Chains A and B, each alone.
Chain A
Amino acid sequence: MADKVFALPNVQTPSVPVKINPDKCIGCNTCVETCQIDVFIPNPKKGAPPIILHAEECWYCGCCATDCPTPGAMEFNWPLPLKPRWRNKETGVVSQLK
């Protein structure tokens, strides 16, 4: 089953507002309740990580990641066109979030 290729529409863009670590996430669904726009739905399997369903509606408020009670379970992920940049004033090196 895992290798089955479905004919799917293009993945909505951007698609990954947060990265969920399945080893740490306890499936408490706090993020599902915190998100004001229902980006997430609960996983049908109890205790499993939620599913990112409406990724492109995300307004990047970050409340899901801020309020996640399990350290390391959820990492906020800026989409590629929105990643912040900064410069070290002394060295002049410009960095950007990964």
Chain B
Amino acid sequence: MGTWHEYFKAEGTPPEWPYPIKFGEESEYETDVVVLGGGIAGCWAAISAARSGAKVAMFEKGDVRRSGAGGPGCDHWCNVPGNPLSRVEPDDWAIQEMNSLGDFSNGIGIQIQCREDYDTLLEMEQMGGKIRDDKDEFVGVEGRDPETKLMFSPRYSVDGSLAPAEGWGKPGFNPPEKRNNTVIRIWGSTFKPILKRECKKLGVNIIERTMATRILNENGRQGARVVGATGINARTGEFIIVKAKAAIIATSGSGFVYYFDSEHGGISTMYSRNQTGDGTVMAWKAGAKLTMMECSGASRFSGGLRHKWYTGGGDASYENVPLVDANNKRLPAPIQGWEDGGAMFSPQARIIAQIREGVKHGEYKLPFYGDFAAMKPEEAHATWDLMLNEESTTKVMVKTMTEGGFDKYSDQIMNYTLIEMQPSQQYRDAGSGGGIMTDWDLMTNVEGLFAAGMSTYSPGDHSYAAATGRYAGRKAAAYAKRVEQGEISREEIDREKKRVLAPTKRCGGIEWKELNVGVNRVMQYFASEFKNEEMLNLALEEIARIEENAVPQLFALDPHKLMRSLECLSIIEYAKIALNAMKERRLSSPKLRIERQDYPDADPEELKNYLALHLENDEIVFERIPIRFWGNMKEQYEAHNQDYTGVYKG
């Protein structure tokens, strides 16, 4: 019961749209700080700005209660060297982490995370989030501290990397007394509803089911100070205008640029359809600098064409679960466990190739399994009932499998690493690592425009989003206190409103999925495994044709499909930015995940620079900014945060 077809069968007519249709209508709000995106970064930004005394409004495509990639939960609170049991110093750890991530990491973000992540976690606890094993459910589990009842994860316990460290798997490797203790296991599925409750308590004006569509510059001039943002309600179609002194971009994703498939397994990528990189595109159009947009690596995870992320036993973070072959023979793969210092399997091409050879020669027999049954019961319990039960979309896997008879003490989960479709070279992650550039205040080059979480370049994970969101909120609030409301341009708003509503004026033509897949085909053909100047030009020409011929046919039958359609327009912009960056980077480099046939080598000088790009009068301006432009991380952080007061005192 419950399907659309059943309703139709019973009623003889399709259901009417259940929300009032308000195409053309407007609501206007005024605030100090507007936050775009209500995920982990957005919520923390809103809370921290409000706690700093600013009036806050927040756009969110879904409902803040469970929205965003972190809405369902999170199991790891990473890079928290400020915790009392850490064996590393936060500033040193930030440098180590940045070094291990390579030249194109985000030193500002990492420094913020390392300095403030533990404070952020304690604030999460203050609000009611569960961060300790206070009910003693996991006594005996490795990494559990009996006093604080904090539970440490094997991740980063040996060094700041997800690659296996020298000597892994050998006896005496990674002894408890030497571990870094920089990652804490948490009950992340409790967090998001609490964050929403806190936002409401603080009077944040939460504008839900609303997609932000544009950042407003003062007097409509690209690159000028930010004075607000517009949005569209995906249930009613109402157009929303928010006047604000500062804006924080806290959106995420760059998904669906190279591939999209909702037929085989629904949209089971790492992100939901809502995470389509709109924020990056909005910042771009407002004149903000982006970088790393030239990167695109072959996609590793998921997609509806493959098994759902995680449910394939050991594909991702099955912490500590040994992988075995069909005869229960252990595979020589790291498992993110204690014995390998939390190293990951799936990015290790050499190890995967070695196992593949073993399969071909009969050394290992397919299929493989995640061997829960072989683990110490305490460890299986912690992995199943804490890590998987708290991490993003795996909670429902734990629930349904447990109800369906899976027993973590006696069973093994099938693993699809080799028997599953290897992703095609043509399926890639656009702008992997690409995003918005900021200064030490997390402010972009556009005055009043801040960025946090996944929307910044080379971002980290959940706790990175939380810490940078919290930081951006504080800084944006401080900025908002210093300035007056700026002048919005009615002309700019009218133009945006017209753009946004255009698909609703048509009821035939091209719908959003076909447009999405059409853009994907361009990227697959001309900007994937083989790239050269001519191919990239062809791609740009073809996207221009799509904009000329297909976009004017885009139609949306209701406000929801309108949002999906507008996301496709973001995807088109995202693709163009990526293509232009790829063209400008005349090199091949695994570090940057770019390969060009016409420039098979890399100029070492060029590789010492970020490629930044932004719009001036709608023309692209490229700049090279030296790597590690942020200076001495400790000094810079301290210079910018003399007023930082630590954990919120209410």
Contact = CB atoms under 8 A, between A and B. Distances in A.
Given A11-B511, A13-B513, A80-B546, A5 B561 contact: no
Instruction: Indicate the size class of the contact surface on chain B.
Output: 20 to 34
Which secondary structure dominates chain B's binding surface?
Answer: helix
A79 B520 CA distance: 13
Contact of A13 (B15, B517, B550, B561): B517
A5 B556 CA distance: 11
A23 B521 CA distance: 34
A91 interface: no
Contacts of B520: 81
A10 B515 CA distance: 13
Contacts of B14: 6-8
A65 B218 CA distance: 53
Nearest to A15: B511
A49 B557 CA distance: 22
B237 to A, nearest CB: 9
A5 B550 contact: no
B4 A81 contact: no
B558 A10 contact: no
A77 B18 CA distance: 34
B541 interface: yes
Contacts of B17: 5-7
Contacts of A4: 16
Contacts of A35: none
Contacts of B4: 7-9
A81 B521 contact: yes
Interface in B532-564: 538, 541-542, 545-546, 549-550, 557-558, 561, 564
B134 interface: no
B16 A5 contact: yes
Interface string A77-95: 0011100010000000010
B392 to A, nearest CB: 24
A47 interface: no
Given A79-B514, A80-B515, A80-B521, A5 B546 contact: no
B558 A81 contact: no
B367 interface: no
Contacts of A14: 514, 517
B510 interface: yes
B224 interface: no
B508 interface: yes
Contact of B557 (A8, A13, A94, A96): A8
Interface string A1-45: 000111111110111100000000000000000000000000000
A85 to B, nearest CB: 8
Contacts of B514: 13-15, 79-81
A84 B57 CA distance: 47
A62 B14 CA distance: 32
Contacts of A16: 508-510
10 contacts: A6-B14, A7-B4, A7-B16, A10-B564, A16-B508, A79-B514, A80-B510, A80-B517, A80-B518, A96-B545
Interface of B: 4, 14-18, 21, 262, 508-515, 517-518, 520-521, 538, 541-542, 545-546, 549-550, 557-558, 561, 564
Given A7-B558, A11-B511, A11-B513, 6 more contacts: A5-B16, A13-B511, A13-B514, A16-B509, A80-B514, A98-B545
